[in-house]
């Protein structure tokens, strides 16, 4: 079902909205708040990157030291081979010196190995913190699939939990993995609704429309259609497109008369009527 079919006769939705890029409405206060949030994220990431850089520099220095020790040990073993190859009167004394050199090299190598392991662990922990911070901040990056439950029901619970905790980037990362694992699952329509609402929560209305339209196009008989259409209407309004918002609200009122979203539509209509200055269409 295409949203053009939902519209009243002779009226067209902003079908090319995502391609044409309709006007993004935001207040000056919202813009300033968003600017501060972005700056905060940038500052945090810079700090994390600096910590990672320091760890990597230390790791490189340790690798260089380890290489020197390996070369020293090779030279020591080479000396031992030469001593064994000849029957020298000083054989015992020379072997004692070499034995001490080898023991010292082994001790240093063990120490370096331990330090390398600690630094590597520190870098891995820092990388993990970067990913966790990015996902929690709502950035869209891949998630470590080893952390995702193996069972579909637990996987979906994790998505809902992340949504409740406002970890919106994590919601979408988990949703992507879920759809890849269970493309024929019976709750993909609900999954699309959750993804759309995660974008709405971040005021990324253009992205939200894409998720809701996918639900409407692929699952026209879904029980979640009234909510998806309402969320689309609200997203269009927030983008200043009041015409398409009204079309969708009329569709809900006429096709889903028993839906609880009919009452919400009335409230949204009142909000739009009181905010005509926000409308660009």
Position 24 scores a pLDDT of: 37
Q: Over range 37-50, report the average pLDDT.
A: 62
Last residue of some domain: 104, 136, 168? Answer: 136
Determine the 3-state secondary structure of 9 from DSSP. coil
The predicted structure's pLDDT at residue 143: 80
Please, which pLDDT band fits residue 199 given cuts at 50, 70 and 90? Answer: very high
Banded pLDDT at 8 (limits 50, 70, 90): very low
Q: Please report the pLDDT score of residue 74 as a whole number.
A: 58
What pLDDT score was predicted for residue 7?
A: 41
pTM value is 0.56
Residue at which a domain ends, from 106, 136, 166: 136
Range of the domain at 81: 34-136
Domain identity same for 127 and 152? no
Is pLDDT of 108 > 90? no
**pLDDT greater at residue 240 or residue 136:** 240
Same domain, 47 and 95: yes
Residue 39 lies in a domain: yes
| 3-class SS string, 131-184 | HHHHHHCCCCCCCCHHHCCCCHHHHHHHHHHHHHCCCHHHHHHHHHHHHHHCCC
165 and 179, same structural domain?
yes
Indicate whether 27 and 156 sit together in one domain. Answer: yes
Q: What is the mean pLDDT of residues 63-87?
A: 60
pLDDT at 229: 96
* Of residues 207, 206, 202, 197, the one with CA closest to residue 230: 197
pLDDT grade for 77, boundaries at 50, 70 and 90: low
Q: What is the mean pLDDT of residues 64-83?
A: 61
């Amino acid at each position: 079902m295409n949203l053009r079919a939902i519209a009243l006769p002779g009226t067209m939705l902003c079908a090319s909205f995502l391609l044409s890029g309709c006007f993004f409405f935001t207040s000056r206060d919202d813009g300033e708040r968003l600017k501060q949030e972005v700056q905060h994220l940038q500052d945090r990431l810079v700090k994390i990157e600096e910590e990672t850089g320091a760890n990597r520099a230390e790791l490189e220095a340790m690798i260089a030291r380890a290489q020197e020790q390996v070369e020293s040990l090779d030279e020591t073993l080479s000396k031992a081979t030469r001593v064994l190859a000849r029957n020298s009167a000083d054989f015992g004394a020379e072997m004692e010196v070499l034995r001490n050199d080898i023991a010292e090299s082994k001790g240093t190598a063990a120490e370096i190995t331990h330090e390398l392991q600690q630094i590597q662990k520190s870098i891995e922990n820092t990388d993990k913190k970067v990913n966790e911070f990015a996902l929690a901040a709502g950035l869209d990056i891949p998630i470590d699939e080893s952390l995702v439950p193996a069972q579909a029901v637990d996987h979906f619970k994790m998505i809902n939990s992340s949504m409740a905790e406002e970890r919106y980037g994590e919601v979408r990362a988990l949703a992507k993995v879920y759809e890849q694992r269970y493309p024929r699952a019976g709750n993909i329509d609900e999954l699309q609704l959750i993804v759309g609402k995660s974008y709405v929560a971040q005021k990324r209305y253009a992205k939200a429309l894409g998720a809701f339209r996918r639900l409407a196009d692929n699952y026209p008989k879904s029980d979640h259609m009234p909510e998806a259409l309402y969320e689309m209407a609200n997203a269009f309004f927030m983008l200043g497109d009041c015409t398409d918002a009204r079309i969708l609200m009329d569709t809900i009122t006429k096709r889903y008369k028993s839906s609880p979203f009919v009452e919400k539509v009335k409230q949204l209509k009142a909000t739009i009527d009181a905010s005509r200055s926000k409308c660009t269409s």
